Amino acid sequence: MQMIEMGRRGRNMAVRTKLVAGNWKMNGLREEGSALARALAQRAIAAGGGGLACELLVCPPATLLVTVGGLLAGSGVALGGQDCHAAPKGAYTGDISGEMLVDAGCTHVILGHSERRHGHGESDAVIREKILGAWRAGLIAILCVGETQSQRQGGGAFDTVSAQLAGSIPSGADSANLIVAYEPVWAIGTGLTATLEDIGAMHAAVRARLPTGVRILYGGSVNPQSAAGIIGLGEVDGALIGGASLDAESFWAIARCCS
């Protein structure tokens, strides 16, 4: 059984490029956001084609998208949004559409993050409509799923994540328009990290419920010290980074773990 699993993981890794994505959340004014973007662009340009074995993506606040996108131009670092509305336009004060993100230079958008699910009451149905809106605009959706500490302690982690996947992913999903990020809620911003065994088991369970080739990232207090072990797991296709993405050196160190 173990040999079969290892063989399957090897075949999967051969066709999936790793991705390291930075979620800046509600952090960064123009000066500091520009400095961070410049530092990342300089590193990426200096590394050229052979410096990293992964793709890079940063998702700054909406106020910084155009500024950061301009500074990253030509570096190979992609730009993403942190959320989008399901509709292309309309009377939705404070919201931003997928089309607006594309107009600002984005190729990706994070949807269903636990801070949206728990802080803004977003249901799987709402997230599903947002994913459809992202696809309509031509964006790659990064769907976040994950269980709370009480759900894990109560033995419901796998059921919780399975339900989120089933309720959030529309038909038509494939490796070209969807990425999934598994982020245990109890590990986000807490300094806690799931064990490698738990991460590998959940990623394997998630992969069994996804179309072939869809990448799965891990998120939850990933830092340069923990990244190598996590990203080295056969079922893990990269990482969605929070706090560590606000420091260029730390973010770059995590990206280098993909080699």
Identify any residues that bridge with 207 across adjacent strands, giving them in sequence order.
none
Identify any residues that bridge with 19 across adjacent strands, giving them in sequence order.
55, 238
Active-site residue, 113 included: yes
User: Rounded CA gap, 173 and 169, in Å?
Assistant: 7
Name the catalytic one among 113, 122, 147, 235. 113
Q: Looking up tokens 């939705």, which residue turns up?
A: 92
DSSP string, 47-88: HGGGS-SEEEEEE--GGGHHHHHHHHTTTT-EEEES--BSSS
Active-site residue, 31 included: no
User: Rounded CA gap, 55 and 57, in Å?
Assistant: 7
Distances (CA, A) of 132 to 87, 138, 179, 223: 9, 10, 14, 32
Q: Which of 211, 225, 219 is nearest to 237 (CA)?
A: 219
Q: Looking up tokens 């949807």, which residue turns up?
A: 111
Is the Cβ–Cβ distance between 244 and 212 less than 8 Å? no
User: Rounded CA gap, 251 and 98, in Å?
Assistant: 26
Give CA 137 to chain center in angstroms. Answer: 18
Name the catalytic one among 99, 147, 183, 235. 183
Helix (H, G, I), strand (E, B) or coil at 219: strand
Q: Hey, which residues are catalytic here?
A: 113, 183
